[in-house]
Amino acid sequence: MARTLVLWLPPAAMLGERVDAAWLRVDDGVIVDSGQDDGWVDAWEKPRDDEGDDRLIALAPAADVPLRWRHYPDAAPAQAAAIARVDTLRDSLGDAALLHVVAGQPADAGQAVPVAVTTHAAMAAWTDWLKEQGLSAVAIIPAAATVPPPEPDSLWSAELGREQILRSDDRSFISDPELDPLIAAGRPIAPLDADRMRQALLLSLAAPPLDLLTGAWQPRRNWAIDPALVRWMKRLAVALLAVTLLIPIIHAIRLNADIGRADGASVAAAKKAGVTATDAASAEAELDRRLAAAGGGPLAFSVPASALYDAMRDTPGVALKSLSHRTDGTLSTTLAAPRTEDLNAVLLALQARGYKITAQPMAGTDGNQMANITVRAVP
């Protein structure tokens, strides 16, 4: 349910006094309560049974905000509104910097443009008064703008809030018994029916002809995060954290499962070779032992020797002086090179392959650098 509180702003000249504002409450387009006292406080703060939209619309008094309608038949709506504002400023008395001129935008080309004129001082006084009441209006509509146009060659006199407003075909302003006949210039002044005025007011609330909260007085937008969005973001963060944790866990589970299957396959393959073992490590150790006894496997001469030759091939300045192999898989060699850095390159390459290296440097008789090196055949 949409609930709207309509509050008449006191005239700017009376803001320093104790003034009970006129008000009414509208629920879903129907006036349900009204008054000319401080009863709006209870009407506005009354608890609701549902979660509808609440909004406050303030009506600026016609005494401070007269209205005029200007016609520009050949101009587009936006262009007509801009021209109307400029023309009104030009025709207004006083310093233009002190005036707050607002032009509404007609729906179609050729329609009259409503233009309201007030002062920045009045706007400041009204906004301060609303803040003192703890209120924030979504719109400030000139009360004179809510009076509907009269019949041709006549004027309306309408009572709205605590004001009597006179409405002609192109103007709307506060009524003055002495000036009204002069302004009417022989045209009849008819009282506007209260029911018709009420319907026009409700239409103006639904589609305001213009809003004084524009330009310098446009409220700053307060960025508020929807609580539902916050809850959704929290849930998303928890889900992302859970996924982040589950990915390595699942990867570890799959890796362990693959290792288990590979170990099982190794044990089965060893069993076919006549090796009985409870796990892959035991089967590998037994196979290495049998290969060593037969002179093959990773303890064979060819394994560390091929690694040594590959490392030397990447360092052409290194020469092989002697080479021997023991049954435990250890390869002994003497290397010579013009520089110690060349020997170190070979040793680093062997270590990178996972072999355990020992080296004893010495000087050669021909000026080369030499080293006695042992290479463990099993990494």
Q: Which residue has the higher pLDDT, 328 or 12?
A: 12
Question: Could you read off the pLDDT of 235-251 as tens digits, one per residue?
Answer: 899 988 888 888 989 98
Structure-token match 């796990």, residue found: 279
Pairing of strands 189-191, 155-160: parallel
Beta bridge partners, 60, equal 142
Q: Where are the domains of the chain?
A: 3-217, 227-291, 296-376
Whether 350 contacts 311, CB under 8 Å: yes
Q: pLDDT class for 289, splitting at 50, 70, 90?
A: low
Task: Kindly compute the dihedral angle of the four CA atoms of residues 289, 292, 298, 304, in this order, to the nearest 10 degrees.
Answer: 140
CATH 3.30.160.60 for the 3-217 domain, yes or no: no
pTM of the shown model: 0.57
For residue range 318-376, list pLDDT tens digits in order. 888 888 877 777 888 898 888 888 888 888 888 888 888 888 888 877 778 888 988 87
What residues have CB less than 8 Å from 56, skipping those under 6 apart? 4, 5, 7, 44, 135, 136, 137, 138
Are 308 and 350 spatial neighbours (Cβ–Cβ below 8 Å)? yes
Q: Mind listing the pLDDT tens digit for each residue in 139-162?
A: 999 999 999 999 888 998 998 888
Average of pLDDT values for 7-34? 82
CA distance 249 to 254: 9
Note the pLDDT of residue 254. 87
- Fold that domain 296-376 belongs to in CATH: Gyrase A; domain 2 (3.30.1360)
pLDDT at 308 > cutoff 70: yes
Q: In this predicted structure, what is the pLDDT of residue 102?
A: 93
- The rounded mean pLDDT for the chain is 83
Write the pLDDT tens digit of every residue in 267-280: 787 777 777 777 87
